[in-house]
Chains A and B, each alone.
Chain A
Amino acid sequence: MTDTLKTDLMEINLGPQHPSTHGVFQMAVQLDGETIVSLKPVLGYLHRNHEQICEDVSYIGCFPYTDRLDYFCAMTNNLGLAVAIEQLGGIEVPERAQYLRVILAELTRLVNHTSVTGFLLNDMGAFGTPLLYAFREREKILDLFEMASGSRMMCNYIRPGGVREDVPEGFLDRVRGITAAYPRFLDEMETLLTENEIIRQRTQGVGVLPRELAVSASVTGPMLRASGVDYDLRKVDGYAAYPRMRFKVPLGLAGDVYDRYYVRVLEMRESLKILEQALKEIPASGPALSAKGQQIGRSPRTFRPPKGDAYGRIESPKGELGFYLVSDGSPQPYRYHVRAPSFINLTVLEDMCRGQKVADAIIILGSVDIVMGEVDR
């Protein structure tokens, strides 16, 4: 039939007003029947001039804007910028702050991976249920963020030289409580999803990202590791207190949507191990912000890093989050650039989708784990 009947390709636009494009993202898809022939991502609907704005404020003034990059992971965004500024200005970080950073970053990873799993299931048609289970757990962690920083999502908490102020009394105990209770939630989620035949059939062998392509396209984070490449900046760079933590880096075999889901589940289990160690080893007292950090926070204009540039990077839940800063010796960055993992991971979308069915494009996008705030900036 297909040999004899010749039809035109059909073009459809998925998004920008589409519930499963995770914000205002548009995919211009060309279809041959149900099969995707080409897919062009259309970006820029959420562009808000992040980099230029940050060149017009002091280094401290950039922090609240980084909260709005990937609004699921404000803490790790703060951490990435703090690491870059610390390199630029040669700022020391006290021991307790190093551990607090690890604790906050791993809680953020739990928040992100839990929610992305919920969203992925939402995209697959399991509307609501897994997402709300995920959001229930996320809520508990967001309460902790509010306790420490005063805001659930727009934390503005991690600063060059440590964290803005020490965590309040009882915070670490509540983190202990969450860490102890989380495995049960993960078990439950896995019962719900991991062996579910429908999920397996929808995701296994779908959206395969070959190892070589992942490496050559600079894909990072769980997506790269699901393709079987052992690369985790927590191990490679060893920032904050990570060199003292013992944890494994879970790797996938096939690099399909299922592996990306499962790598995230395993990463959450490793995060819990890291949290346990960090909670055990964190110094009970000591400063949470170095003297220089306090000085910078109190009067941001006195901080004039020497001329030069620095690239600070961390393993954010989505991949390598890097901040490139150029200083001309003034209190404001001369150049401020964000290497956003969501954006770079998205570049392989067409390669993963070509030849797949149109319904699969939605879950392949869901498995990339993007947040438009970070893609468009």
Chain B
Amino acid sequence: MDYFFTEEQSMIKELAARIADEKIAPVALEYDEKGTFPHDIVTVLAQSDLCGVYIPEEYGGLGGGILEMAIVVEELSRACGGIALAFAATGLGSFPILLFGNEEQKKKYLPDIASGQKLAAFGLTEANAGSDAAGIQTTATLDGDDYVLNGTKQWITNGGEADTYTVMVCTDRSRGPLGFTALIVEKGMPGFSFGKKENKMGIRASVTTELVFENCRVPKENILGREGMGFAVAMKTLDRTRPGVAAQAVGIAQGAFDYAIKYSRERVQFGQAISSFQIIQHMLADMAIQIEAARALVYQTCRHIDSGAKNISKESAMCKVFASDMAMKVTTDAVQVLGGSGYMKEYPVEKMMRDAKITQIYEGTNQIQRNIIALELIKESKKKQ
């Protein structure tokens, strides 16, 4: 399908596809097995200039938007959804700066992210604040020119590997979510360390750790926006990055489909390729229909956001839910098409099925997304009356 990409977007897609096919695919299963961080691939991405696709040119990026980010995530995820996350989670960690950073902060942090010299991460979740993000308990109190942070963030992607962290903290507990503040914390700041590294079901090449703050001193100029804006920073960021999760889902599903259809042409049972059985054909057709529908929704949502539209929460949630549910179904079917081979680690589809699952969970579970969508729909309906 022609999605009417600009010439630059097509070049970005081709370049990301080359990296996926030539550099990531050959090592994806090994990284999954070992669960180590793909430093060599991050270097390749840095050299390619793609780390800065969504960052304005004045800060060393390529000046694209959410669509460009999604194109890269999708292509990389075709080869490995986990490795792609080093790039995607850096986007998640960078958007608070892109959206709410002042000129100095942008100049200080974005060029190194655009060049791929540094990765970023986003710290919201805590042990008692998952879906209920308003429950965060990490505090920051002003002491002279510094905020002093105490608390622990949990399950932070790129934890330990990133240099730049955008972290949501409570600066005024009495005000609930209106007392949250977003701060930029740098690796190496005194009192900032990394806790437990998680052992995960999928996206095992991505690193997920705790961020531990023990009287961690962060200069007060590292505040994003103003005190009390933290919750808005987090929500507005997630509205823009959920299409990235959706693109990851589309990429993983496409990778599984590509493998399944090739396998079905080669596997012979009852004297014929299994691709000659109508039931297999229909499974493949349904997989392709679902992938294409999700992709179209993702791209269109990205364009909607890039156009500067104000109301984007519902659309962003819709594309994340649709694409991630699709990816779970398509990867499960891909395993089915391969039969027993699909269940074996020698073949890539069981990994894709494990990788797909996370897209239904993070950046807001699909249940929470449906809540967001339904509430918006009800609001819209009320307005019409």
Partners in one complex: no
Listed in ascending order, the chain A residues whose CB lies under 8 Å from chain B are: none
Listed in ascending order, the chain B residues whose CB lies under 8 Å from chain A are: none
